[in-house]
Amino acid sequence: MNRPTALLRQLLILELVQAHITRELARVKAQMRADGLHIIEREVGDMDIRIEFRVGNLYDEAVFMRKMLEAEAANRAKRTGMISR
């Protein structure tokens, strides 16, 4: 069993990381508004995520491979010590 203080420390750190993520989400959304970037449609599939978007009067779409996004997210979480895998 983990020491209680180690679990408490992990909880406190994760709460602080969550607060940072919340602020970063707000910053990115504000930047999107400032740039006139609007998501029209988001389609989440098993293999990829397709986003139809508009920047000003220009409409476009982007496809992001789900496995690559998951790997990048896991890598970032590992580098920050959020996960140990």
Q: What angle do CA 46, 32, 77 make, to 5 degrees?
A: 50
How confident is the model over 28-74, as pLDDT tens digits?
Answer: 999 999 999 999 999 999 999 999 999 999 999 999 999 999 999 88
Rounded Cα–Cα distance for residues 43 and 54 (Å): 15
Helix (H) or strand (E) holding 72: helix 66-79
- The residue with greater pLDDT, 71 or 81, is 71
pTM of the entire structure? 0.76
Tokens 């000003």 identify what position?
Answer: 56
Predicted confidence band of residue 84 (pLDDT cuts 50, 70, 90): low
CA dihedral 8, 10, 16, 19 (to 10 degrees): -100
Q: What is the pLDDT of residue 78?
A: 81
User: Is the separation of the CB atoms in 37 and 30 below 8 Å?
Assistant: no
